[in-house]
Each structure stands twice: as structure tokens, then as C-alpha cells.
Amino acid sequence: MGNWELSDQVNFRSKQLLQGGKNIVGLMAGLNGDPILGIDDKIEDLHYKNNNNSNEVQGLNLTLARPKSKAILRKGILPFLLPNQSDDISHLALDIGGSLIKLIYFSRHEDQSVEDKRKKTVKERLGISNGNRRSYPVLGGRLHFVKFETSKLNECLDFISSKQLHCGRFDSHHWNSETPANENAVIKATGGGAYKFADLFKERLGVSIEKEDEMDCLVAGANFLLKAIRHEAFTHMEGHKEFVQIDHNDLYPYLLVNIGSGVSIIKVDGDGKFQRVSGTNVGGGTYWGLGRLLTKCNSFDELLELSQRGDNGTIDMLVGDIYGGMDYSKIGLSASTIASSFGKAISDKKELEDYRPEDISLSLLRMISYNIGQISYLNALRFGLKRIFFGGFFIRGHAYTMDTISFAVQFWSQGEAQAMFLRHEGYLGALGAFMSYQKHGLDDLMVHHLVERFPMGAPYTGGRIHGPPLGDLNEKISWMEKFVQKGTEITAPVPMAPPGTTGLGGFEVPSSRGATLRSDASALNVGVLHLVPTLEVFPLLTNPKMYEPNTIDLSDHKELEYWFTILSEHLPDLVDKAVASEGGIDDAKRRGDAFARAFSAHLARLMEEPAAYGNLGSANLSLYKKLTFRCLCTYNLLNRLMEEPAAYGKLGLANLLELREECLREFQFHDAYRSIKQRENEASLAVLPDLLLELDHMDEETRLLTLIEGVLAANIFDWGSRACVDLYHKGTIIEIYRMSRNKMQRPWRANDFDIFKERMLGSEGKKPKPHKRALLFVDNSGADVVLGMLPLARELLRRGTEVVLVANSLPALNDVTAMELPDIVAEAAKHCDILRRAAEAGGLLVDAMTNTLDGLKGNSSSVPLMVVENGCGSPCIDLRQVSSELAAAAKNADLVILEGMG
């Protein structure tokens, strides 16, 4: 037990920091960024030292439940981690516009990767220079996107304050949450409000606003998004959304049209190279302001919702109204084209009350969207630009708005120019402000460093803030419980009906199949962005640009139906397993319930509008076998989906499966299949010696074929697979395995065994050189890895090939993880000299085998067997985003064996 007293020189930046009181769970860092106390440190006692004549606290006494020698206390200003923060939140930037405040903040995960001795040895063997995080300019963590109405600035300030977002900081060189904030803390902000509200920020939060130019920020944000986020941009024509893959080398020049309160039109020629070429005062503020006056609506969303039931023909003067129902075809105008917005109101003897608010809203929306589209086109024409990207929250992911703008651009340019929209539409300025903290940090990030995730609340709120921020797990669960009713609301379909065009120059009114607008459609297009600077593109991909991890397109309704049914049906079973994995206690049941609600909400939301989740690619065939689950029906939802046109873009199963794993993790189910995996590993390890004996009695050629058949056979041991579960009732693992192996007779669908055999064994008496290094991607636990892949690894090792076993970083279904694998190998090595020597040479046995290894140390002539993590936490691997360890290991590999993992 140690007892320290901090120096009197310790300062506290904000009185709010003290509110943590005894509940403070950790002090993160000292002056030099050295950790002082971790969140795991138990505070036995704490009290503040006050200056007699002021309330200002000057120091504190701490008693910690750990030895003094472990900690160094330094003088410094200590950023606190309050109990309601689950993360160490490090930074924040704002865009305070005429209508909305956009806030982006970064939270850093505690680094959970355990650098044990084993992992270090493997890294050394692979020649990875201590994969040091500090060599990356940006720390891993998450970017969150939040918005508030500017008129409710106080809510925003409360949010910042409750999450203590203004405490972490960048220093001049590093993005470093461990650097203490100083008394002159600054927040980067852009937009007019950065000027208007600077004093208020100083007063309320004690921070200064560092102003960043709005246009600079818009451009920086747009460039970043277009380069770093996969499928950021999409087209939207006649109700059909399609993601566009932007070629980074062919991005400039383009026209950026930001539709906020007003509209800025910017020609972008490169990073930081741009010119604001035009603008218009008829923008989002105009629609919302004028719309409110004319319809008495209380919110923007209400106004937009009204438009969906509107018929603008009652107010707008159409060409047909002027031409007696006829087209004016000579100049290309159909009778239904709007000749004059609101034009009918001049001749009618009607007052405002005589018009339906629905019609007024639609008329206004069309007038403004069309006008902006037209001005944008004219500017594109002026500078010969073909691509126009639209941003700003006026768009709000609203199908009809986008269709109208697209139509205008298409119509006036006669198809020459194209309107594109951005998923993070409203956050361009805020992102730019965020990036301005450090010019060589965020903007160096590339697509493969970013992983997009949709947190549990997304289907309900679309990422909007309702009430105080959710802090701990318990709050999350309560929130799920509270919102369970809301869950039914989200199944209401979003009106996405394509407006039919009527020949030249006009639309019909949007058909109104749904009456309500989802709480916030646009925000759901924005997940939380995980920054993972250690991820890399797998270096052996021949053509990363062409690589597509998903193999089946779910826009095929049959596929879609199949997968949604499977996932919904499996949910109760998964919850049972998850709860059991945590000992079945009440707390686990409650979490299980909340997980089920959250994931069902995601499923329901996805079925409504798959494209809401951005690009979800397509599904994966190998998962058919993986997910043959029990029945429970969600046909009502499916039926609705079947009714909707395939206008929602693509939907991918791999991403959906990952979302499910993430959702489990969110409710702290870190490994639902833990005990199942253990049981199967043990059962398989028990029969491994028999199998190895059998193999060793075969001649080389038979053995090689048997090994490959064995890999195929063992891959059926796949949890969740109905067939697999049934099999378990029919015999022991080794019996099932042998039986399955016998069924794996050639010819196979892909049947290149002879080529492989020749490469391995040679022909006409010539012995080929063994492979230098083989990467073996392993799948599942139990028989799959132990009876399938390990014997194959052993065969390669026997031939003098280095073997790297590649496994998942995080648990997903019953997939073995890189953390679990060394123990399995160690156990297997007890029965096999080849594996033992190789595992020892590879540094895998450092602590697992110390007893059995006595006397066997130091056989340096063995080729090593190693384990690396793949960087993935999903049942399907995406080779565009793998761990840096795997990327390093791949560089010397001349054989890659992929088994399972999609």
C-alpha cells in the first residue's frame, strides 16, 4: 500500500474536474505523458488540498492499493477520467453553423493488446521492429459524429462538459491524450459560431476557441472523406442509390456544393487548393425558415415529412397550366414541368390557410433543390467540371431532395455532369476542423485504417443525442429497455419511392408510400469511425483495387430472404450461448436481452433500408454452412423488404456478421462461444495422437492427399451449422472426422491437387525445394484447427517450411483466436516432436510448456512455427484490412493456405 502526496504545484484546470470526487477511477498521465495511475488502480482514499482563502484546489492526497514502487508521481496538471466515461476521450472539433452545431470527437480505447513474451518472440522472428504504436502518428480510437441545433447551444455545452470532451488535447507534434491539458486549452472550431460564441465557450467551459476558416475546413473534410472512407460518395437518381468508388488519382478538379443555411460553391483543385466560385442565399435555412412560416411546422423533420404527402401541382404553375394541358415540346418542356414555383398562388383567390401545408412544403422543397441543382450545374459548366459533390445538412439523406438535385444536374447538363452525395454530408466542416489539429496525422490515414461501425443506438436515434450521453454499460442496457417500444417504430418504411419522371423536364409528385420520416435518416448513414492505424492491405493481393471480399450479391431477393431469416432465427440461440458464457447470471441475462433488442433493431432497420449502413457489399457463400440455424420468423419484415424495390444499394452479410459480433461486444459478451470452443479443443486434442499415428503410417503421396481431405473434412466442424450439431450425436469427433474425410473424395469442384502435389513432392524423382514460409489461415476451433490444419502445418514443417498460423484477433462465432492458438499448439506439441521443436523455435512455448520442455531447449536448427493475428474480429476476413504483423509475415511467404473465414 503506498501513500503519496502531490506537490502543491499541481493545478486543476476546471472546477468540474473535481466533481468526480471519490468516484474518480483514474488519473491518466503526468507531465511527460508518463502514466501515473491507471484506471485499474484502486483509490483507497482521496481528499483534496484546498487553499485556505479560495475554493481552488491545489493538490490531493491519494492512497492507492498497490506498491509505491509501481508509480511515479510527477508535478503536473492531471486530466481526470470520470466514472461516466468509458473511454479516454481525447479530442473534439466543432462546426457551428447558422442552423446546426456539428461536433466530432475522438475517443481512444485503452490498448488491449497484450504484448506477452510469446508475441514478442514471434515478432522478433518475423523481423517486425517492435510494432511500436508510437511510430504511428495517430493513435487508434474512434471518431464520433454528433449534432445539435445552434439555437440549443446549451445542450451542446452540457454534452461537452459531461463527457469532458474539452480536456484531452494534441500537442504540437503528437496526437496524444496522455499529454495533460493546460489552462489555455483550445478547441478548434469553424463556422460562423466559432466567432459568435467564442466568449460563451470561455465562460462555460474555460476553453478558448481556435478559429479555422470555414471554406478551408469544408474542402479538407471533403477531400479526406473522398479519399479515406470506402463508399463515401453515391449517386441518387429516381430513388436508386449507388455507391461510387472514387479513384484517388483522379479526384480533382471537382465542384463542392455545401448546402447549409446558405450555399457555398467551391471549385476544388487539390489538397488546400480551391476557390469559392459562387454561392446562393437560397439554401437550407430558406427551406426551413420559409417553410416554418408558411406551414407552422415545429421542426425541420416535420416539414420534410409533410412534403412527402404533398402535391405541388396545387400551388406551382405548371407548363400545362399555361399551355392548356399541352407540352411545350419545341423547347423541351412537358406539361408537368414546373413553369413557375408558387405561381398558382397569384391567380387564385386563396389565402395561405386554403393551401395544404403538405403541398406548400413540397413546392418549396422542389423550388429550392431544383434551384441549387441548376446553379451548381451552371458553375460546373463555367469551369468545365463533370463531378459535383453535394454536402450540408439540408440534404439530410432525403431521397426526394437528392433526386431533385440530381435531376436538375442531369437535365441541364444533358447527362454530362453528375451529382454525387456524401454519407457524412453535414460533417465536412467539422471534420476539416478536426483535421487541422495536426497536418500530418489524420490526413495521412488511408481507407484501410478506418473501420466503420454502427453502435447499438443507431437504428433508434440515427446517432442523435437524446438526453444525457450514455456512460456505462448499465445505462446502455436501461436505454435499450426504455427504447424497446420505439423499436417497433423503426420498422416503418422510409419513403424512398422514386418519383416518376414525366418526359422532359419534370417529375410527378413523389408517391407517398410512407407517412413518417425516420428519426434521422441521414445520421444513420454515419457510423462511428474506428481509426486503426496498424491495419494494412495484405501485401500479397495481386490487385487490391479489384479485390472484393464479398462473393454473393444480396440484391438478389432470395439471398436476402435467406440470410435475414437465418440471422433472426439464430438470435435466441446466440443469446442463450452468450448468457451461458457469462455464467448465466442475472446481469448476463439482462445484457443478453439488451443485445437481442439492439441486434434485432439493426436487422429491422437494415431490412427497411440496407443502404442506410453505407456499403455493405455482398454476402459470402462459405457462410451458408456456417449459419444453418433454427427457425423463428420475421416474415413480416421480409415481406416488406420484398415489396421495396431493390433501390437500397447493396447489402453484405460479412458486414452484418461483424455488426453482430460488435453488438455482442457492446454488451460485454466478449466470447459467447468460449466454453464450446474449449470443449471441442479438448476433445480434438485427445484424438490427435491417433490421427498423427495413422498419418505417419502412410506413404508421402497418400499422406498429402489425406491431409488435404482432412482439412476439408474438419472444416465441417462449424458451430451454428445444423449439420454439425446433428453429427455430434452420431459418434465421437474422430469417427465423424474420418467419416467426413472419406466423403471428401475427388473430383472436387476446384481440383488443383495435382499441381499442389507436384510442387510439394516433385515429379520424375526430382525433389523440389520446400516452400520458405507458409501462411495458414485457420478457421473455427476444435477439430477444424486441431485435426485439420495442425497436421497440415506439421507436414509443411517436416519439409522445412516455416509455418505461420493466422487467426482472428477477436472472438467471432467459434473461430479460434490468435490468443488461444499458442496454448492449443502447446497442447498438441506434447504428442508430437515436430510440432514441439517448431513451436519452441517459433517462441510459442515460452510459458505454456516450461515443464515438459526441460532438456529440449535450444534446438536452433528447427524451422519455426508461429502464430499471428489477422486484425479481424468477424467470421469473414477482409484482406484489405489486416494486422501489421500479418502484413509483415506475408512479405517472405511463398505459400498461402486459406481455409474458411469466407
Ligand X SMILES: Nc1ncnc2c1ncn2[C@@H]1O[C@H](COP(=O)(O)OP(=O)(O)O)[C@@H](O)[C@H]1O
Ligand Y SMILES: CC(C)(COP(=O)(O)O)[C@@H](O)C(=O)NCCC(=O)O
646-679 burial, b at 16+ Cβ within 10 Å, e below that, comes to bbbbbbbbbbbbbbbbbbbbbbebebbbbebbee
CB nearer to ligand X: pick between 282 and 492 = 282
CB nearer to ligand X: pick between 121 and 369 = 369
Question: Minimum CB separation from ligand Y for residue 274, in Å?
Answer: 14
Q: Which three cell numbers stand for residue 317?
A: 404553375
Kindly state whether residue 201 participates in binding ligand X, applying the rule CB under 6 A: no
Q: Which stretch binds ligand Y (CB under 6 A): 259-267, 470-478, 505-513, 827-835?
A: 259-267
Question: Minimum CB separation from ligand X for residue 379, in Å?
Answer: 19
Q: Which stretch binds ligand Y (CB under 6 A): 73-81, 178-186, 261-269, 414-422?
A: 261-269
Q: Which stretch binds Mn ion (CB under 5 A): 54-62, 97-105, 323-331, 460-468?
A: 97-105
Q: Which three cell numbers stand for residue 433?
A: 476542423
Interface pick for ligand Y out of 2, 98, 206, 289 (rule CB under 6 A)? 98
CB nearer to ligand Y: pick between 260 and 463 = 260
Kindly state whether residue 348 participates in binding ligand X, applying the rule CB under 6 A: no
Distances (CA, A) of 381 to 254, 386, 412, 894: 11, 8, 10, 52
- DSSP characters for 120-169? HHHHHHTT--TT-GGGSSS--EEEEEEEEEGGGHHHHHHHHHHHTTTT--
- Residues in the interface with ligand Y (CB under 6 A) total 13
Q: Which stretch binds ligand X (CB under 6 A): 198-206, 307-315, 387-395, 558-566?
A: 387-395
DSSP state of 789: I
Q: Are 175 and 128 in contact (CB under 8 A)?
A: no
Q: Which stretch binds ligand Y (CB under 6 A): 258-266, 354-362, 504-512, 538-546?
A: 258-266
Question: Minimum CB separation from ligand Y for residue 554, in Å?
Answer: 37
Cα dihedral value 245, 249, 252, 256, nearest 10: 30
**Is the omega angle on the peptide bond into residue 253 within 30 degrees of 0, that is, cis?**
yes
Kindly state whether residue 285 participates in binding ligand X, applying the rule CB under 6 A: yes
Distances (CA, A) of 476 to 26, 479, 661: 22, 5, 17
Calpha distance 844→833 (Å, rounded): 14
Distance from the Cα of residue 230 to its chain's centroid: 11
Kindly state whether residue 260 participates in binding Mn ion, applying the rule CB under 5 A: yes
47-66 burial, b at 16+ Cβ within 10 Å, e below that, comes to eeeeeeeeeebbbbebebee
Calpha distance 759→893 (Å, rounded): 15
- DSSP characters for 419-484? EEEETTGGGHHHHHHHHTT-TTSGGG--GGGEEEE--TTHHHHTT---SSPP-SHHHHHHHHHHTT
Residue 280 binding result from Mn ion, ligand Y, ligand X, none, given CB thresholds of 5 to 8 Å by partner type: ligand Y
CB nearer to Mn ion: pick between 74 and 276 = 276
Kindly state whether residue 100 participates in binding ligand X, applying the rule CB under 6 A: yes
Question: Minimum CB separation from Mn ion for residue 224, in Å?
Answer: 16
Interface pick for Mn ion out of 20, 30, 59, 97 (rule CB under 5 A)? 97
Strands 26-27 and 528-531: unpaired
Kindly state whether residue 192 participates in binding ligand Y, applying the rule CB under 6 A: yes
Kindly state whether residue 288 participates in binding ligand X, applying the rule CB under 6 A: yes
Kindly state whether residue 98 participates in binding ligand X, applying the rule CB under 6 A: yes
Residue 264 binding result from Mn ion, ligand X, ligand Y, none, given CB thresholds of 5 to 8 Å by partner type: ligand Y
Calpha distance 281→453 (Å, rounded): 36
Calpha distance 107→236 (Å, rounded): 33
Residue 263 binding result from ligand Y, ligand X, Mn ion, none, given CB thresholds of 5 to 8 Å by partner type: ligand Y
CB nearer to ligand Y: pick between 190 and 715 = 190
Question: Minimum CB separation from ligand Y for residue 286, in Å?
Answer: 10
Residue 295 binding result from Mn ion, ligand X, ligand Y, none, given CB thresholds of 5 to 8 Å by partner type: none
In 3-state terms, what secondary structure has residue 613? helix
Calpha distance 542→455 (Å, rounded): 34
Residues 262-291 touching ligand Y, rule: CB under 6 A, are 262-264, 279-281
- Residues in the interface with ligand X (CB under 6 A) total 18
DSSP state of 227: H
Kindly state whether residue 371 participates in binding ligand Y, applying the rule CB under 6 A: no
Q: Which stretch binds ligand Y (CB under 6 A): 42-50, 254-262, 518-526, 705-713?
A: 254-262
Residues of this chain that interact with ligand X (CB under 6 A) are: 97-100, 149, 191, 260-261, 284-285, 287-288, 300, 392-394, 396, 426
Residues of this chain that interact with ligand Y (CB under 6 A) are: 97-98, 191-192, 214, 260-264, 279-281
Residues of this chain that interact with Mn ion (CB under 5 A) are: 97, 260
